[in-house]
Amino acid sequence: MDIDESLAMLERRGLSSFNANGKTVVIRADINSPIKNGTIENISKIKVPLPTITGLIRQGGKVVILSHQGRPGDEDFITLRGHAAVLRELGVNVDFIAENSGGRVKNRIRQMQNGDALLLENVRFDAQEMKKVENYREHLRSPIVQDVGAEMDYFVEEDFSCMHRNEATVTGLPFAAPSYLGLHMEQELRIGSMLRKSTSKPTLFVMGGGKVHDAIGYLYDLAQSGFADSIFLTGLVGNVAIMAMNGKLGGDTPMLKQKYGNQIRAMAKFLSEYNSINKHLVKIPVDVATMDANGRRVEYEVNELPLNASALDIGSRTIQLARTEICTANSLFNRGPSGRTDVYGFAFGTYSFLEAAIDRGVYTVIAGAHTKMVADQFNLTDRINENGHVSSGGGAMVAMLAGKKLPAIEATAMSLKLELPRKREEGRRKKLSLK
């Protein structure tokens, strides 16, 4: 089932399609937030699902919230207890249980009253959540899907950032109960669908941030789809590209080789393949910024970065090359920041991209929590929303724009195909009982 067919089936599956009063409604939300030293650094992602959560609570629903935080092995892979505290600060009277499946979770859900809200523990704490399966329905064996699914009346997809992933609570739960789209999900899908069909070219794509493992696949998607006319690689993704082309990047060289060796080789293969087809498609940084002994920003050509220095941002020459591209672009898509957002003075590259696009009236889409942090820091978010969109899911938006299927949307549409015959049979039996 391709993405257009899936979206067409889900056009009338919004929150207005069912009554939550007295029903247990499970929401797969996205409250995955930037984490620093074990604490939430920015709460903007937690605000995104609030309209859906509060709307269902006001209807009298028993609202169970599922979400993830980080990935196993990463520093931001932490409990959701702090997220529950933030939700309460934002006005949601939510309880938290430090489990996501099992008898205690089932009993706690059964004890809920109309208008209650309950946040379960990080779904990725369950090893089955990210298990690879061929058939979405295989996720019905997941402990979370089995236990939570058995207690719910309705399921609501509200995590756009995971729509391109085949994970248990994203693609399994739609088969456990009638499934619908949250308010934010509907907005993201509507805008993404519009952009696929009507975005004016030329289109510039900035691929930054630190999620290098995903980036290579996204680059192939963009290149093969023809959606992007030009791609700038920045941030850690850009540093990996520099290593792929030059074999060194100052003091970052040992770390990049050790941690991202496979990605460096994959990036070298991608650049070789697509630069031979179109040498103007992909650009990598020509200079980078670092911090000197006095804490000041200094810049070097990529081949001249000292062995005791790390690349913390793109340099002025790279920024100027990007601004030149922006001058001829009609659309800009920025996934991930170009520099370190947690070090003062090194969000300049990201800011420069966004400011140049906004000033020129280029339709601008940004994605990712750290990119939004920079936009918020420099008071650019409202200006972007005037002629663009702030998306909660970089990878999902890339996949959608490239015309790739979104597993969560496909699973929800497939579950609807199963639901319709069941409803017809229930209606037939009801009519027979009345005779």
Strand partners, 25: 63, 154
Domains and CATH numbers, the chain: 3-187+405-434 (3.40.50.1260), 199-401 (3.40.50.1260)
Measure the CA–CA gap between 149 and 365, rounded to whole angstroms: 35
Averaged pLDDT, groups of 10, the chain, 435 residues long = 77 90 98 94 94 98 98 95 98 98 98 98 97 94 96 96 95 95 93 78 91 88 89 96 96 96 96 83 96 94 96 97 93 94 92 95 91 93 94 89 89 81 45 45
- According to DSSP, residue 52 is labeled H
List pLDDT tens digits, range 104-160.
999 999 999 999 999 999 999 999 999 999 899 999 999 999 999 999 999 999 999
Q: What is the DSSP string of 214-281?
A: HHHHHHHHHHHHT--SEEEE-HHHHHHHHHHHHS-BTBTHHHHHHHHHHHHHHHHHHHHHHHHH-TTS
Measure the CA–CA gap between 80 and 73, rounded to whole angstroms: 16
Q: What is the DSSP string of 194-211?
A: HHHHHPPSPEEEEE-SS-
pTM: 0.85
- According to DSSP, residue 142 is labeled S
Residues 6+ positions from 227 with CB-CB distance below 8 Å: 196, 199, 203, 205, 401, 402, 403
Token digits for 250?
Answer: 């100052």
Measure the CA–CA gap between 96 and 64, rounded to whole angstroms: 10
